[in-house]
Structure 1
């Protein structure tokens, strides 16, 4: 029997944690509660949202012929999807600040799941555009995803955690490009459904899985290492700001706008590519629907490693050079992505286009990961009420400008 003085307090967590109980190590192959369980619930829930949102583009050639859509209709639908995701993110940030990421994420998924299912009922270009607008709202779960990771992981690994969680989730877009044409053809070959019915029935599947993952988040998730977000706010007796106050604080932070613009040029480019790339290869190079889907899938599936790589690079640059290192890394990678995007439009061969597309995907997604290596250092006041998302997690060595007098709201975001 050991003497009483030799007994050590046992940590309730399976991972080493800092003073805020945030994990200082990131082990994606584990599922231990609460840190890694939150990670897996967060990325898989968002994966289903991406799958739902991008389940429509790979079937566009079929839908286009059935609904008699014009190029203008298709373009407007893609814009509607993107605008829907922007509007919903503006609301999702304050929602996470007010109720925590778990409830906010599940509520949005359960709300938007019926919308993707109702894509089976569209009969006109107008209803098609409205469906794409509504489905785009589900991508606001990205804010909850990054908020949740920042709440669970310390600044030393938060860039990697954010990158892997978002990267694996973004693979849902690639999976949709790959899987939806297969579902469509299976419904035709196995159930002998006509084409106009098969593509409609196909949309019931992503909506179902999106709803299931939302229920899993509610049942098994935990907002913070210490428990629920509601109990945390009660314990620290934080005054409950109104939704409008949260939104105002986020919209008036110029640093959030800078990062929103930067993020629009990387993640926005990726979303645009996801929306049109299958149709582009189908029309320009004459490949069939399944081959076009497989080529388009390479964009989303590259997130398996490219976005996490960006997050890891951001953490590495931050440890070596501080905030300026994170920013220079972001600028360099995003510049290369821009050049590859220009090159993609100038290549005339099928295999050349595929090669440039793959390289572009890696760099543009790594730029997104690098962006979210900076986001957690934007503001201390509100965690999610930025155009993209925010956090109060910080490494003071990176956060503060020597000339700021130690003010934690002054952050080095200059090159």
Structure 2
């Protein structure tokens, strides 16, 4: 531990120290949120047939699932600065689990869309995850900690693609449920687990290495509210924050989009699955889509770790150069994947794309914690919201009747490739937090500044 009690290394077997306990709870909570958020995606071929959804309506469901998250992420970042990540995460898990369970009540496009929009609020869990790890780990390893926790959490988006068709199949084959009841029951299970995790988060974590916000305030160790007033405005005035907003729109926004469309994309555009029986096609498409998400097991952490290495040599500018490289390669990989029409070609390209998408995610948040330490929650929220803005805009391409989904993929590849150069267009020459903090004694003050004990 440092003098500020922040962890200076990641010890995965440590479940007792506050930083490592928070680390494990944040990635696990985020994993379950992602699992529930996109739990319906691999079941969409079933839902589409039952509710008679058109391509336009499916497109609106894709957009709706990520639209509310934009505002939820901005709000939750502000909230973390004020009440701390422990209470923010607990409330988000408890409230967010309700529409996940309740989507089973949908009986039309309108009701299904409303629940799909409401579920999107749990996507704000990413901001709390990044906030909590940022205040628990020292600058020497915060990029790796952020990327690992977020990557393992995002893994839920891949696991749900594989698991939910199996849960659905178990309800149908083992319990004799109808197709309609089975997908509804599957979502109820996902929501119930999120609810229980919210309770666990309250009891098993604390806000900072020194304690909870309420305790620190009582001891006079928490900066008063004026110290964080204007943090959102300060973050908005920093153009570097908006560059990361665009970068995250191009990487995490693409990840959200693929989590939503991958199963349907393979079922509709790959001949091997179009000719298979529906249950087999559903499970196979879910497994393939899950391979994309499974890259989070290591790739996002790898992106953050390499970002830390670049930062140790070249400061914030080095971190930015690494982000450019991962984004550029992501765009090229997406262009190639958009042209694939057989599984033998499509699966390897999808995994290559997944590698660069996840590394770009990690590289972005190897930069973000160092832009404005006094407004960390606001910076994290703005950048995080960029991912959802990107997903919303991409959703309009997939709902358009004028272009096919492969064409939409190709256009996104062009956009990502060109947007990567925005990172190089901005100077990241300021002294980063890692340069300002003495070795082993990182600066305090993430969000609500915590005074030296």
- TM-score normalised by structure 1 residue count: 0.88
Which residue is 1:183 aligned to? 167
1:27 match: secondary structure? coil
- Residue correspondence of structure 1 range 37-56 to structure 2 within 5 A: 37-56=21-40
Deviation, 1:243, is 9.5
The residue correspondences of 1:387-402 to structure 2 (distance < 5 A) are: 387-388=382-383, 394-396=433-435
- Indicate the residue corresponding to 1:255 in structure 2: 240
Q: Deviations over 1:5-26 (max 9, x none)?
A: xxxxxxxxxxxx1221111111
The equivalent of 2:199 in structure 1 is 215
2:152 aligns to what? 168
Identify if the C-alpha distance between structure 1 residues 74 and 225 changes in structure 2 by more than 3 Å, giving closer, same or farther.
same
Q: Structure 1 CA distance, aligned partners of 2:113 and 2:228?
A: 29
Is the alpha carbon distance of 1:318 and 1:187 closer, same or farther for their aligned partners in structure 2, counting shifts above 3 Å?
same
Pair 1:118-2:113 in alignment: no
Tell me if 1:372 matches 2:365. Answer: yes
| Cα distance change on mapping 1:237 and 1:325 into 2, 3 Å | closer
> What are the within-5 Å matches in structure 2 for residues 294-309 of structure 1?
294-309=287-302
Higher relative contact order (CA 8 A, sep 6+): 2
Q: Distance in 2 between matches of 1:31 and 1:350?
A: 42
Cα offset, 1:315, TM superposition: 0.6
What is the match of residue 407 of structure 1?
none
306-315 or 239-248, which moves further after superposition? 239-248
Q: Deviations over 1:120-156 (max 9, x none)?
A: 0111111111111111110101111011101110000
Runs of 5+ consecutive residues of structure 1 not aligned to the other structure: 1-16, 400-415
Residues in 2 aligned to 1:48 and 1:258: alpha-carbon distance in whole angstroms: 29
- Give me the whole-angstrom Cα distance separating, in 1, the residues matched to 2:46 and 2:229: 43
Contact 2:248 2:384 (C-alpha < 8 Å) held by counterparts: no
Tell me: CA distance 1:237–1:151, structure 2 relative to 1, closer, same or farther (3 Å).
Answer: closer
SS in 1 for 2:210: coil
In the alignment, the residues of structure 1 paired with residue 23 and residue 112 of structure 2 have an alpha-carbon distance, to the nearest angstrom, of: 34
Distance in 2 between the 1:65 and 1:389 partners?
33
CA distance in 2, matches of 1:84, 1:203: 19
Distance change >3 Å, CA 241–CA 53, structure 1 → 2: farther
Aligned to 1:77: 61
Distance of 1:237 and 1:293 partners within structure 2: 47
Q: Distance in 1 between matches of 2:240 and 2:67?
A: 21
Match of 2:335 among 318, 325, 342: 342
After TM superposition, give the deviation of residue 290 of structure 1 in Å. Answer: 0.2
**Counterpart check, 1:351 vs 2:351:** no
C-alpha separation in 2, matches of 1:49 and 1:98: 23
Q: Distance in 2 between the 1:329 and 1:76 partners?
A: 35
Q: Give yes or no for contact 2:232–2:375 (8 Å, CA) kept in 1.
A: no
- Correspondence 1:158 to 2:142: yes
CA RMSD of aligned residues (A): 2.0
Q: Distance in 2 between matches of 1:323 and 1:244?
A: 26
Q: Is the 8 A contact 1:116 1:207 kept in 2?
A: yes
How big is the shift at 1:244? Answer: 8.2
Deviation by residue 1:31-54 (Cα, 9 ceiling, x = unmatched) = 122111110001001111000001
Q: Which residues of 2 match residues 142-153 of structure 1 at below 5 A?
A: 142-153=126-137
Distance 1:194 1:244, change over 3 A: farther
Tell me how far 1:28 sits from its aligned partner: 2.0
Worse-matched range after superposition: 279-288 or 178-187 = 279-288
Gaps (5+ residues) in structure 2? 274-280, 386-431, 439-453
Aligned length: 382
Aligned ranges 1:264-343 → 2 under 5 Å: 264-285=249-270, 286-287=272-273, 288-343=281-336
Farther-moved stretch of structure 1 (250-259 vs 70-79): 250-259
Using structure 2 for the length normalisation, give the TM-score: 0.81
Structure 1 residues 103 and 359 mapped into 2: Cα distance closer, same or farther (>3 Å)?
same
Q: Give me the whole-angstrom Cα distance separating, in 1, the residues matched to 2:162 and 2:226.
A: 44
Deviations 1:47-83 (A, max 9, x none): 1100000101100000000001111111111111111
Give the deviation of 1:245 after TM superposition. Answer: 4.3
Counterpart CA distance in 1 for 2:56 and 2:296 is: 30
1:93/1:389 contact within 8 Å kept:
no
Corresponding residue number in structure 1 for 2:450 = none
